[in-house]
Amino acid sequence: MSFLTKIFGSRNQRLLKQYQKTVREINALEPQLETLSDEALQAKTAEFKARVAEGATLDSILVEAFAVCREASKRVLKMRHFDVQMIGGMVLHYGKIAEMGTGEGKTLMGTLPIYLNALSGKGVHVVTVNDYLAQRDAEWMGQLYSWLGLSTGINLSQLDHDAKQVAYGSDITYGTNNEFGFDYLRDNMVFEAKDRVQRGLNFAVVDEVDSILIDEARTPLIISGQAENHTELYYKINEVPKMLTLQIGEETPDGSGKIEVPGDYTKDEKAHQVLLTEAGHDKAEKILTQMGLLPEGASLYDAAHITLIHHLYAALRAHALYFKDQHYVVLNDEIVIVDEFTGRMMTGRRWSDGLHQAVEAKEGVRIQNENQTLASITFQNYFRMYTRLSGMTGTADTEAYEFQEIYGLETVVIPPNRPSQRKDRQDQVYKSAEEKYGAMLKDIQDCYERGQPVLVGTTSIENSELLSGILTKAKLPHNVLNAKQHAREAEIIAQAGRPQAITIATNMAGRGTDIVLGGNVAKQVQLIEANDALTEVDKAAQSQKLRDEWNSLHEHVVKAGGLHIIGTERHESRRVDNQLRGRSGRQGDPGSSRFYLSLDDQLLRIFAGDRVRAIMDRLKMPEGEPIEAGIVSRSIESAQRKVEARNFDIRKQLLEYDDVANDQRKVIYQQRNELLEAHDMTELMSSLRHGMFADIVHAHVPLESVEEQWDLPGLEAVLSAEWAIDLLLVKMAASEPSLTGEDILDRVHQAVNQAYDAKVAIVGKESFAGFERSVMLQSIDTHWREHLAALDHLRQGIHLRGYAQKNPKQEYKREAFELFAQMLDMIKNDVVRTVVTVRIQSREEIEAVEEQMALPQVENVHFQHADFDASASPEEIMAPAAFAADDQPELSYALKVGRNDPCPCGSGKKFKQCHGKLA
């Protein structure tokens, strides 16, 4: 303890002391609340709500609300919140993390801040690690909330849209981190405001916060899918450019300028752009009509065919601007882009906007319908959006720095209600795995004979099975839990405290269910109580009998030493070891724990093996004898610290890269949401139009220029060919000598507005606004998807490119920003062009088009988180640091990758033949 800590007490102690004072105030209200009738107590909720609505802060009603919640819990759940639970409740309410041991009652503790914050009516999200826990806790604690007049919803992945809206509309919503995150992403992909399910991110209580915000935060949530399959269309349209001719500008013989040799399109190699002339446009329409792609008499400008012109331009660019062995090569039936400047092949990279497919069609190779990221977010960035975030867990303290650094969350360690009596024994280190398993078997056998229950924690399913085989051979009955069937496993783990019980579990299995010494009879008692066939007397008698039996079992187990925990390996972080140990010694129970290690263990082999072996040799340890010394434990701990630091680094890198995308995502999503909610698009569209046409005019009639500098014929041509605006500017200038550049801009605006108003007049303001909204949303979505892919490539490339003296992260940021600006320009251009050039005949037509656009433009949509499936490369999923360090163990893979799946390291080998060999 440092000198200052001694004098002032640690911050933790000071906070506890402060909260303790509030607890006394809460306790003081108890006698009075106890006298209230149920109705009077229940009426408190409405009273609080009214006060909050009138402006009272939640902080100001905390004391009363906590007191009411406790009193209600006493009546409904027959549990009275302990004082330490009150303290924990305050920690959560103030947006911090409460560390509280397993079995201390975090579920009940959570009800206090949840009740208080629900009073604001803005919603409270309770986040759990799996659906089973969400459901269990919601049903259990939901009784209390509903008694107090608040609604509880459960947000499960299989719910349909309406049910989800109901769940989110509830005062309190339980669900998993994945589901909350995916819903957020999905809400930002809808085409109508009413299709969103969430209603803002207000207050979240994250249960097992370390698992969710740390372990699971190493990979982002990703929604991916394939763009709609247009293969046929690409091949057909590929025929069109061959029938069109390039318009060539030729120098006049006297050198006075250029004359045009008429043709169907022009090209600008620098800007990589092509443009159909008026004649070319007509010709293309005829060809497309002949091919049956465009109905007789229809125009490329018709609303129903707006995608066709897109395809046509892509094909034209592919033919006119992109050349084999210069811009790309054909390799193994694939188009591989060649970097123009370095000549290097950019394998895996694709051009956007349909160009790549057009080139594939041109070369007659297979048109790839590649998997695209449609949306993605890290948990860090998702959870940071909550106005107030809080969390609870049994093990946060070792990660307090990260919580503070990344989430701005402070960790407060809550003392146990009754101090634990668990004895954590020294690790035993053996030379070989065989000796280790032999020693474990002896330990388990001994417990079994004495009737002491044992929980054996393993790091992987393989290890569980190996151990299970050993126990079967020794004729020891046992259960194996693999975190596959959460509900069933919860039941087994609830009984893992019975005499002689032997349970093998991976660290994920049976989480959130606490192990009562002697087994859990609560459920059986409930069943009896609920059995209407029994008389009250019978019920009481049977329940009592069960409790008596339990009492004797409980006594037996307590005498045998409580629950014994065996660790088969140290985990990659000390926190996970503590999670395992924490399963024993709940609520002041006795218990013990011991980890068995061997030099073959992954962690030791890679990080500490040599040192420990040297120690063993120095001590001249005979074969089969374990070493049990502080110096070894310290080596192991330092190895764990190394792994922890590396994992922290991976998460931080992922976050730093995602932060760039995050700022951009926020802009795009905000824009999208404003669009969804906007009734009137007039202002937005007119400002877009004006900006666009001002740019076009100024390109030909520069600001503050004189007439000699103007290029009116050029402007006329562009307006006509590109925008379907026919304006006789040359003539105007000739007949009106005083015409200024500003006048010209005005005339252009007028013409554009007129054309626009004429369209609005045909279909009505509302329908046209709907159409504009859809065009805009679709354009945003398409470009955003391509932007995400571009960012991905950029991120990978930035590390391959040797940036001399340059910080890759800075470079990434700079380039990502440029790409983003370009994307915004493309969106504007796209939208204005479509809206200005679209030809509309009727309202029905435009509404049909709008409906068409709102349909999903992608297929095979996948929701991924950390399930490294074959379709996702690890580069997609992880920040570069994660695979740069592939010589180091990646224990968590073992739980998630199938043995026959491709190894996530990207080697192309099967997992079991690559990194899976380690596990």
Which residues make up the interface to ligand ADP (CB under 6 A)? 79-82, 85, 100, 102-108, 514
Q: Which residue, 80 or 611, is less far from ligand ADP as judged by CB?
A: 80
H/E element, 775: helix 765-800
Is 545 annotated to bind ligand? no
Look up residue 505 and give its amino acid.
Answer: A
**Inter-axis angle of helices 58-76 and 83-93, nearest 10:** 140
As measured in angstroms, the least distance from the Cβ of 361 to ligand ADP is 59
Q: Which residue, 85 or 211, is less far from ligand ADP as judged by CB?
A: 85
Q: Which residue, 104 or 179, is less far from ligand ADP as judged by CB?
A: 104
As measured in angstroms, the least distance from the Cβ of 627 to ligand ADP is 34
Distance between CA atoms of 113 and 870, rounded to whole angstroms? 42
Distance between CA atoms of 79 and 71, rounded to whole angstroms? 9
Distance between CA atoms of 684 and 171, rounded to whole angstroms? 36
Tokens of 475: 């004729």
Pairing mode, if any, of strands 388-393 and 97-99?
Answer: parallel
DSSP result, 202-248: -EEEEETHHIIIIIGGGS-EEEEEEE---HHHHHHHTTSGGG--B-E
Q: Which residue, 553 or 697, is less far from ligand ADP as judged by CB?
A: 553
As measured in angstroms, the least distance from the Cβ of 473 to ligand ADP is 34
Q: Which residue, 103 or 889, is less far from ligand ADP as judged by CB?
A: 103
CB 351 within 8 A of CB 338: no
Q: 3-state DSSP call for residue 776?
A: helix
As measured in angstroms, the least distance from the Cβ of 647 to ligand ADP is 25
As measured in angstroms, the least distance from the Cβ of 102 to ligand ADP is 4
Is 106 annotated to bind ligand? yes
Q: Which residue, 106 or 422, is less far from ligand ADP as judged by CB?
A: 106
CB 566 within 8 A of CB 443: yes
Is 343 annotated to bind ligand? no
As measured in angstroms, the least distance from the Cβ of 110 to ligand ADP is 8
**Inter-axis angle of helices 843-854 and 741-763, nearest 10:** 90
Q: Which residue, 582 or 770, is less far from ligand ADP as judged by CB?
A: 582
Distance between CA atoms of 565 and 423, rounded to whole angstroms? 10
Q: Which residue, 82 or 693, is less far from ligand ADP as judged by CB?
A: 82
Q: Which residue, 133 or 222, is less far from ligand ADP as judged by CB?
A: 133
Distance between CA atoms of 151 and 131, rounded to whole angstroms? 19
Look up residue 141 and give its amino acid.
Answer: M
Q: How distant is the alpha carbon of residue 566 from its chain centre?
A: 34
Q: Which residue has the tokens 């065009």?
A: 775
Is 107 annotated to bind ligand? yes
Q: Which residue, 73 or 774, is less far from ligand ADP as judged by CB?
A: 73
Quote the DSSP letter at residue 594: E
As measured in angstroms, the least distance from the Cβ of 586 to ligand ADP is 7
Nearest to 365 by CA among 332, 321, 328, 318: 332
As measured in angstroms, the least distance from the Cβ of 583 to ligand ADP is 9
As measured in angstroms, the least distance from the Cβ of 871 to ligand ADP is 36
Quote the DSSP letter at residue 372: E
Helices (H), 564-629: 574-581, 602-603, 609-618
CB 110 within 8 A of CB 205: yes
Q: Which residue, 185 or 213, is less far from ligand ADP as judged by CB?
A: 213
CB count within 10 Å of CB 93 equals: 22
Phi/psi-derived region of residue 906, left when phi > 0, alpha when psi is between -120 and 50, beta in every other case:
left
Distance between CA atoms of 33 and 73, rounded to whole angstroms? 12
Tokens of 230: 């247009």
As measured in angstroms, the least distance from the Cβ of 511 to ligand ADP is 9
Q: Which residue has the tokens 């996970």?
A: 576
As measured in angstroms, the least distance from the Cβ of 418 to ligand ADP is 12
Is 324 annotated to bind ligand? no
CA distances from 520 to 418, 515, 802, 837, 899 (A): 20, 8, 61, 72, 36
Q: Which residue, 98 or 335, is less far from ligand ADP as judged by CB?
A: 98
CA distances from 588 to 208, 806, 910 (A): 21, 57, 47
Q: Which residue, 183 or 514, is less far from ligand ADP as judged by CB?
A: 514
Q: Which residue has the tokens 């450019």?
A: 241
H/E element, 423: strand 421-424
Q: 3-state DSSP call for residue 373?
A: strand
Phi/psi-derived region of residue 298, left when phi > 0, alpha when psi is between -120 and 50, beta in every other case:
beta
Look up residue 130 and give its amino acid.
Answer: N
Is 258 annotated to bind ligand? no
Q: Which residue has the tokens 């097992």?
A: 208
As measured in angstroms, the least distance from the Cβ of 81 to ligand ADP is 5
CB 161 within 8 A of CB 108: no
As measured in angstroms, the least distance from the Cβ of 94 to ligand ADP is 19
**Residues 6+ away with beta carbon under 8 Å from 507:** 457, 458, 459, 571, 576, 579, 580
Tokens of 341: 């400047």
Q: Which residue has the tokens 């050349």?
A: 323
Q: Which residue, 80 or 749, is less far from ligand ADP as judged by CB?
A: 80
Is 245 annotated to bind ligand? no
As measured in angstroms, the least distance from the Cβ of 126 to ligand ADP is 12
Q: Which residue, 85 or 198, is less far from ligand ADP as judged by CB?
A: 85
As measured in angstroms, the least distance from the Cβ of 800 to ligand ADP is 46
Nearest residue to ligand ADP by CB is: 105
Q: 3-state DSSP call for residue 262?
A: coil
Residue 818, burial from CB neighbour count under 10 angstroms (0-12, 13-18, 19+): exposed
Residues annotated within the binding site for ATP are 85, 103-107, 514
Residues annotated within the binding site are 85, 103-107, 514
